[in-house]
Amino acid sequence: MFQPIFLYSTLTKTKVQLMPLRSHEVSVYSCGPTVYSAPHIGNMRTFVFADTLRRVLCVGGYTPKHVINITDVGHLVSDADNGEDKIEKESKKMGVTAKDIVKKYSDMFFSDLQALNIPKNKFFAFPFATEYIEEQIQQIQLLEIKGLTYRIEDGIYFDTKKFKNYGALGDIAHIEIQAGARVEHVLGKKDVHDFALWKFSPKSSTQQRQQEWNSPWGVGFPGWHIECSAMAKSLLGETIDIHTGGIDLAPVHHNNEIAQSEGIFDTPQKKFVSIWMHSEHMLIQTKTQENSQAEKMSKSLGNIFTVSDLVEKGYDPLAIRYLFLQTHYQSQFSFTMASLDAAEKGLSRLREKIYNVTHWYTPIQAIFYKKPTVHMTTFNNFLFDNLSTPQAIACMHEWGNASLSLVEQYMLYKHADQALGLDLFKKEEIEIIPDEILELSIERNVAREKKNFEEADRLRKLIESKGYTVKDREKNTTVQKIFHK
Ligand code: AMP
Ligand code: ZN
């Protein structure tokens, strides 16, 4: 019943088969946005990837339990535990409260999710870090008991030298290089990889924080990384099946999450995460006087587009989703307006196919059920092979040209739409025959084929009671809505 799904693990650097810890339920934790400014389409690529993973798990027969957190405290301007808290900084700049900033940008994030057809209600939770302060303090206390922390003037730090295999996700060398070039150091930090678990509020009144809490160590706020360890554990348990994020999070944030979560375990075999998955960056061409080069789309570089920027220019947000899915999540790609134009064309070609397919019943046409196994299996297999969405989209374009019956195409497109979330049926919703009626008529055909006429009759009556008629022709059966005069 459960399909084998293979996913690329950043930890092992190989594709591994998903083996959920709790039979059909798959726990997934995705690092969410830091809500200090408008999320850009690079950020949203990461969340479309997370949503696609969720959808593919459903196609495979699993029940995802998926959490995306909202970072509303503790993410500092620098990864090196110094500099201002991004949210406090923005609130000062705008002359509003930190709460106002969080509300404004988390609302924007949720409306972008909706625009990109990422259904909020299909996720288990969107926890805010400030709602889990107690859990973060408890996690730090457990690390303290294990002797993995130390106190300096600035706060409580994780002692990475004491954690075996720190940096398992790799790429920690560049932190050392960065640290060498860094002007501002946190005084007393024993190692460049050590990181803040709890930071004390600054003493000077000019730097007073709005978001601060009492703790066993003094008034302050949690470091950025601890929120994910605490929330993942509270909502999903000590070991989770899949953890996702953008690739930039792997070297620091995710290596630190592993240290904080596994640091409290008694056995070295026990893991925080079974499969670590990372999506690549979206780049953007930046033109300088000398040349043009692709660089990471990022808030700090100011080279961003938001979903609403593009909607204002007249683009359909689902064309943005289509654009993302055209590239495998592990590949970088450069955003251009031309690529979005091409994506919009691709999406409308699919919509045309859907239009043809959904009009098959007016005038009454054949509904002769033939399970679309081969094509659906091919499509699914691409997705089960580490979410190969570009190949899955190519399949969708081929179906319209292949000599498939309209019913078969209908079934395939309906399925693909669930799997990729392109919302292709949106405009046609009112005109199509509901799945329930189609399924009943299919069941009825099966009964007729088996010459079980009693059952076929029962199903006909059931269909009629729901407002549809069925007519048997020589070679097929048709279904039509009953319009009352
Ligand atoms: P942030 O709001 O900066 O904490 O980022 C939210 C998510 O977006 C993280 O998973 C980042 O790794 C990811 N991200 C940031 N920039 C990009 C980009 N240019 N392309 C893809 N993902 C990104
Ligand atoms: Zn995180």
Query: Ligand 1 test: best mutation among 28, 36, 46, most atoms within 8 Å of CB?
Result: 46
pLDDT band at 428 (very low <50, low <70, confident <90, very high): very low
Amino acid at 265: F
pLDDT > 50? residue 196: yes
CB 33 within 8 A of CB 39: yes
Spatial distance between the Cα atoms of 101 and 210, rounded to a whole number of angstroms:
12
The per-residue pLDDT for range 39-94, each reduced to its tens digit, is 999 999 999 999 999 999 999 999 999 999 999 987 888 777 777 888 888 888 88
Q: How many CB atoms sit inside 10 A of residue 227's CB?
A: 29
**pTM for this predicted structure:** 0.87
pLDDT > 90? residue 23: no
Give the ligand with the smallest distance to the CA of 334. Answer: 1
Give the ligand with the smallest distance to the CA of 34. Answer: 1
Distance 69 CA to ligand 2 centre (A): 7
Identify the pLDDT of residue 469.
79
Identify the pLDDT of residue 105.
97
Report the nearest-CA residue for atom 5 of ligand 1: 33
Task: Measure Cα distances from 415 to 85, 89, 257, 330, 439 in Å.
Answer: 44, 46, 36, 24, 14
Supply φ then ψ for residue 453, to 5 degrees. -70, -25
pLDDT > 60? residue 179: no
Report the chain's mean pLDDT, rounded to a whole number: 88
The per-residue pLDDT for range 429-443, each reduced to its tens digit, is 435 677 788 888 888
Report the nearest-CA residue for atom 2 of ligand 1: 33
Task: Measure Cα distances from 446 to 221, 412, 415, 481 in Å.
Answer: 63, 19, 21, 21
Distance 211 CA to ligand 1 centre (A): 24
Identify the pLDDT of residue 427.
61
Spatial distance between the Cα atoms of 55 and 57, rounded to a whole number of angstroms:
5
Of all atoms in ligand 1, which is nearest to the CA of residue 75? Answer: 4
Of all atoms in ligand 1, which is nearest to the CA of residue 296? Answer: 19
Distance 265 CA to ligand 1 centre (A): 30
Spatial distance between the Cα atoms of 27 and 455, rounded to a whole number of angstroms:
41
Higher pLDDT, 246 or 447: 246
